[in-house]
Amino acid sequence: MLLCELTRYVVDRGQGLNHCIADASKLVGGLKSVHVGETTIQAAIEAYDAELVKRGADEVETSRRSALGIHSKAFLGAPVMQQGYQKGEAAK
């Protein structure tokens, strides 16, 4: 188990650091639960892994949908893509 392995998530939306912080927070929470006797180390690791895998899979799916949307004909034909941002000019 590698904490803050930023390459674990294939995301294009700048979420690596957010996931690193979430990983650390979830891991520390699980270890605190073990320390005070609320759970076993095995149960804490399993809960940590289950949450991490689900969160990672959700982010990968969001990135996939985002990539498909950005490369769609509808998006590429949008005024911002055709005209760009031009200060002082109204969209035609």
Per residue in 50-78, pLDDT (tens digit) is: 999 998 888 888 878 877 877 777 777 77
- Amino acid letter, residue 72: S
Q: For 7-32, what is each residue's pLDDT tens digit?
A: 444 445 667 778 888 889 999 999 99
d(CA 22, CA 87): 40
Q: Nearest to residue 33, comparing CAs of 19, 47, 22?
A: 47
Is the pTM of the predicted complex or chain greater than 0.85?
no
Using CB atoms within 10 Å of the CB of residue 15, give its burial: 0 to 12 exposed, 13 to 18 middle, 19+ buried. Answer: middle
CB 12 within 8 Å of CB 66: yes
SS3 content of the chain, % helix, strand, coil (to 5): 65, 0, 35
Identify the residue whose tokens are 């076993």. Answer: 40
Listed by start position, the domains of the chain span 15-65
